[in-house]
Chain A
């Protein structure tokens, strides 16, 4: 297939590629939202004084971090129906991704909260703030800025994890790349296009998170440089949530 007809094929497959992209974005954003909510809930629980709360959170976190994403995905897809819950593929996908990355996120949240300087806690207590008030007004806003870089790393991992979705019958971007490959007979072309699309998606997400970080830090009076905002490295920290 010569270059001209490849471009034509690309143009024709554009709708499918776009659909695939859409599915991937749906999965990513949907899972990210739930993962974040879960991460906050678990992160707070994991840092709680109450032993039962802390213990259960810890068990949950270690369970979902320790078992593998694919196992979780397959479990929801193949095993859950036996319990009477036949979920749609996309729900399986979002569920597995949210639980897995929520657990990793919980470690990040817990670490960020723990890293807020003790004097802040003491000042809040001295001013008679209750737990929720202290958390909402003093601790979380400061922890939030800390959290964003490692959470960005996790978000990118989540995006990359969505590529497994085609194995539970979802027609995501990876699926469409395979289609394109079969149609064009050219691996490099099809995968080249696909990798670039994923890259652009990842870059946009990174930009978004960096913008969030700027906003969060400006509220605290610190801030990253313009170069860091447009750079692709969302600040190396520690891998997946191992923040201590």
Chain B
């Protein structure tokens, strides 16, 4: 779908210059007959930390996947830093984005997956330097230095030459975080990054993420069930259900005195298990 231009030749609707980092504009995503995102509107400011909570199937992961261009949008527009992500500009119109366009736009977005997805045929250093060297065009030396910095930050400096199979789940996930950060993204997407970990390993990963939140101003969009962590790190919490935002607000309010019934029920169920 495409939107017509505003009055001037090449300026698009106000959405493009509202200063937001991420903007979802009436986004619709369907899987077959099932509507996962239903005319979703929301924005994320630069440097904001937003946590998405809600039952499975509510569309939270789909939002991340759309941002990471792992899925295609069915209707609406996704904007990143004032530029369309799901579409590209063709003159004064928007047309569905081509692969080449997406490949450039994606660079400012990084993602950490639930299943880590490290490359098993490379060691840790190679995992961290592959994209910076071949996508950003950095020199191997530059990429290595940056990789070492990041490994120090995630507490795995001694694992440079290790293979993913030799690392624990928590260690692999920390490497995955470092790998995403090695691209210097402006947006970091975290998709249930601790859900596949044994409980003892979760804390280390969350500590790394807290450190990132404290020491950088990277915009973070987090899907998680770890409510304590969410409360510590988030500026805003969005409660999702069936493809729509049910409630949003600062973590203190959402977690202690939610206004909506559905939010209350969800939090009761999740926190009871903690």
Direct contact of A and B (CB under 8 A): no
